[in-house]
Structure 1
Amino acid sequence: MAKIFSVVGKAGTARLLDPLSRALLRMGVSPDAVTVVGTVGVLVGSVVFVAQGHFLAATIAITLCGLADVMDGSMARQRGTASRYGALLDSAMDRIADGAVFAGLIWWFAVTGDRPTLLAALICLVAGQVVSYVKARAEGLGMACHVGLVERAERLIIIGVGALLTSVGGLSWGLPASLWVLAAGSIFTIWQRMWHVYKLEQARTAGGESA
């Protein structure tokens, strides 16, 4: 459900942002610049809000900055200059932004002495990077890896829901629970992608032997 929501939501958001994307292009702003500015915004939000436990403000700030991740792609398509460098920059900035968010959470739970939730955040940080790496490495080896229960959009949605449950709903267990759900989902996604690539390789090997 989260995956469907993220895909539909991203497509709808891109259409809403098209006028702003066109305006930025007319002003001479490049898609790459929007990518970097969005990442810087997430970094600032992680330090100022996430690491200080201001989860409502953090959710709002990071969501707004996350719009840049939608807008830069829209701008590149409208300008007709989508490039491999732009795709690389976007992926690198995504990893930096994700790392900053979880680093902020780790800092907060370390300061407050919540070791179980600190552990969950650490697992999410490491597993989230591995999820992305496995896909990138598989595709670098020439194997499609378009599978995965929890990808970047789902990670942000799960964390955002947990943060809102804690900050707005007053449920202290909201964010810790979402982190443990995300940790489990991320580990499962790593296995899912590894298994997918393993099966592809087995099929390739079997095909080569039969030939």
Structure 2
Amino acid sequence: MTREEHLRRWSAAHGGTAASPLVRVWLDGVRRTASPLAAAGVPPAAVTALGLALALAALAPAAAQAELGGRWALGVPVLLAVAALADGLDGAVAVLGGTASRAGAVLDAACDRLADAAALGALWLLGAPALPVLVALGAGQLHEYVRARAQGEGVTGPGAVTVSERPTRVLVAAMFALGCGVYPGAATTWAAAGAWVGAAAALVGLVQLLVAVRRELSASR
């Protein structure tokens, strides 16, 4: 499949959203990585499941550092990064292999929500207070529900690209977990800061999305 065809199919799968230059670079890398997997007949659902398993596995080093000390948390950003890569690959494998389906899209969305919870759970295990973790989790889940519901009402594309898209959630959790591993003596402070940053971003992103969706739905009446 050519680069242009892959971009066209990605845009169609995302409600006609045009890929930005940065997204194009990401998609080029994903296409090259996914091509041999698609050629080998690897099921996209298997890649989706692998991504979720890696995200859940990030809880283990977080729990190990909380229990044993040391620098176990250094494994958290690594696992979250590889999980994020797998999350990008499953859709590309489906598109390149011609196996994209609505069931696969639903599975991917469900696994993404669980992976988001795992990333925040890692910060909680590393010492973040429950309040910002729950706020970040709740606002993030509501963010995606609002988007899905708005699309069901006719909103095309994402509605708005907010400050709390999934890459931001993963990056925040990974970055502050890395701080926990590099500075184990201040792990609780790093984890708490990450949870509060995640909560603030989730709330701002939710407001951004609600405003954009309301505007678009009002304009389409």
TM-score (norm 1): 0.78
Aligned partner of 1:186: which letter? A
Report how far residue 169 of structure 1 moved.
4.8
- One-letter amino acid of the structure 1 residue matched with residue 144 of structure 2: S
Match 2:147 to one of 135, 139, 159: 135
Task: Determine if contact 2:76/2:178 at 8 Å carries over to the other structure.
Answer: no
- Identify the range of structure 1 (80-89 vs 120-129) with the bigger mean alpha-carbon deviation: 80-89
Q: How many angstroms apart in 1 are the aligned matches of 2:96 and 2:36?
A: 11
Q: Which of 73, 79, 100 does residue 91 from structure 2 map onto?
A: 73
* Residues 164/107 of structure 1: CA separation in 2 closer, same or farther (3 Å cut): closer
User: 1:146 aligns to what SS in structure 2?
Assistant: coil
**Identity %, equivalent residues:** 32
Matched letter for residue 181 of structure 1? V
Q: 1:15 aligns with which of 23, 28, 31?
A: 28
Unaligned runs of 5+ in 1: 1-6, 206-211
2:174 matched to 1:160?
A: yes
Query: 2:9 aligns to what?
Result: none
Is the aligned partner of 1:98 residue 2:110?
no
CA 1:16 to 1:137, structure 2 compared with 1: closer, same or farther past 3 Å?
same
> Post-superposition shift, 1:133?
0.9
User: By how many angstroms is 1:186 displaced?
Assistant: 0.7
State how far apart, in whole Å, the 1-side matches of 2:33 and 2:212 are. 39
Within 5 Å, give how 1:120-199 maps onto structure 2.
Answer: 120-144=132-156, 145-169=159-183, 171-172=186-187, 173-199=189-215
The structure-2 alpha-carbon separation of the partners of 1:198 and 1:24, relative to structure 1 and needing over 3 Å to count, comes to closer
SS at match of 1:143: coil
> 5+ residue gaps in structure 2?
1-19, 66-71
Of structures 1 and 2, the one with the larger relative CO (CA 8 A, separation 6+) is 2
- Cα offsets for 1:85-143 (capped at 9, x unmatched): 2222211110111122223433443xxxx6xx322112111111111111111111112
Bigger shift: residues 158-167 or 8-17: 8-17
Q: Which amino acid aligns with 2:148?
A: A
Q: What is the deviation of 1:20? A: 4.2
- AA aligned to 2:182 is V
Deviations 1:128-164 (A, max 9, x none): 1111111111111112413322111111111211122
Asked if 1:202 is matched to 2:202, the reply is no
* Conserved? CA contact 1:106–1:122, under 8 Å: no
Please give the residue correspondences for 1:37-48 in structure 2 after superposition, counting only pairs within 5 Å.
37-46=50-59, 48=60
Partner residue, 2:64: 52
| Deviation per residue, 1:34-84 (Å, 9 max, x gap) | 1112212222222x1233343211111121122111211221222133222
Question: How many Å apart are 1:13 and its aligned residue?
Answer: 4.8
Q: Distance between the aligned counterparts of 2:168 and 2:98, measured in 1?
A: 29
Partner SS state of residue 49, structure 1: helix
For 2:179, the aligned partner's letter is: L
Q: Residue 58 of structure 2: SS of its match in structure 1?
A: helix
Q: What number of residue pairs does the alignment pair up?
A: 192
Distance 1:20 1:184, change over 3 A: closer
